[in-house]
Amino acid sequence: MKPFTYERVQSPAQAAAAVASHPGAKFIAGGTNLLDLMKLQIEAPAHLVDVNGLALDKIDALPEGGLRIGALVRNTDLAADERVRRDYGVLSRALLAGASGQLRNKATTAGNLLQRTRCPYFYDTDQPCNKRRPGSGCSAIGGVTRQLAVVGSSTACIATHPSDMAVAMRVLDASVETVRPDGRTRVIPIADFHRLPGDTPHIDTVLERDELITAVTLPRPAGGTQVYRKVRDRASYAFALVSVAAIVQRDGSGRVAVGGVAHKPWRIEAAESAMPQGAKAVTTRLFADARPTEENAFKLTLAERALAAAIEQGKS
């Protein structure tokens, strides 16, 4: 791990200003992803700004319905919250599927959204990786691709986004609140928050470098039956080959987002009109532009079967 400086801050705007004033600075909260990347020298921030002391660890009901989840709410607390379990069950289930209890006790809401890919080539610093070192090439293309993207990829990157929580947030139409050093705020729909790789796969989100997430908001409950299904190589400590977050209404309509298949949680709202026709009709539209490899083409069938199971569970 390379040397770095460290400071604690007293307000969100002060945190953003501290990062803005130090080239190469990063925010740190739970550190469950960043510290691992620093140890491997994939990330080498010159300065860390600790935001744990900020009052961003509460879950508040919104006047118009919905919830405002502070950026520092730990995954354990979010999954266990009575309102989340009752009205946003897909989120609670996704969080519980996402990591061990020890990690959930430290990991934060904002950090979960910001975690970086688990592509093995990204973690192998002896291999070229455009996400780790822009312009160096993508070792995954032509390499071992079983766990990697089947849709939304580019000639520069075929990595997938690892978060379970983000998939649930996407199906729930969450929004991300942020603050800048001058106190300016903005609200980013979760649909626009994560980026596809294009020619700049090292840029994961639309955030500016000095922009701090302060909260994630959920709209009023959508009703229906909420299901999260995660298919992985082993029952724990594994990222999704395919995951499905679904909200199923009694008439068969609903919403669906898929994880483990793209650089961001994958949802195509236009495909959801086919929900009453069944999983095949939906996934045909969801993956109309898919470009799988021979090793990961099975994900298309796996996603269809996982969605079929979710729809059946939702109707029962």
Residue 219 exposed, middle or buried by CB count within 10 Å (0-12, 13-18, 19+): middle
Residues of the chain with pLDDT under 70: none
The token pair at 67 is 């919830």
Instruction: Count CA atoms closer than 13 A to 264's CA, side-chain side.
Output: 21
Distance CA 6, CA 48 (A): 5
Q: Is the dihedral of CA 261, 264, 269, 275 positive or negative?
A: positive
**Residue among 284, 289, 282 nearest 314 (CA):** 282
pLDDT for 194 equals: 98
- Specify which residues 5 forms β-bridges with: 47
Compute the radius of gyration of the chain from its Cα atoms. Answer: 19
Max alpha carbon distance in the chain (Å)? Answer: 58
Angle between helices 279-286 and 298-315 in degrees, nearest 10: 140
pLDDT for 110 equals: 98
pLDDT for 316 equals: 76
pLDDT, tens digit, 9 for 90 and up, residues 118-134: 999 999 999 999 999 99
pLDDT, tens digit, 9 for 90 and up, residues 134-145: 999 999 999 999
What dihedral angle (degrees, nearest 10) is formed by the CA atoms of 153, 154, 159, 160? Answer: -20
SS3 letters across 87-156:
HCHHHHHHHHHHCCHHHHHHCEHHHHHHCCCCCHHHHCCCCCECCCCCCCCECCCCCCCCCCCCCCCECC
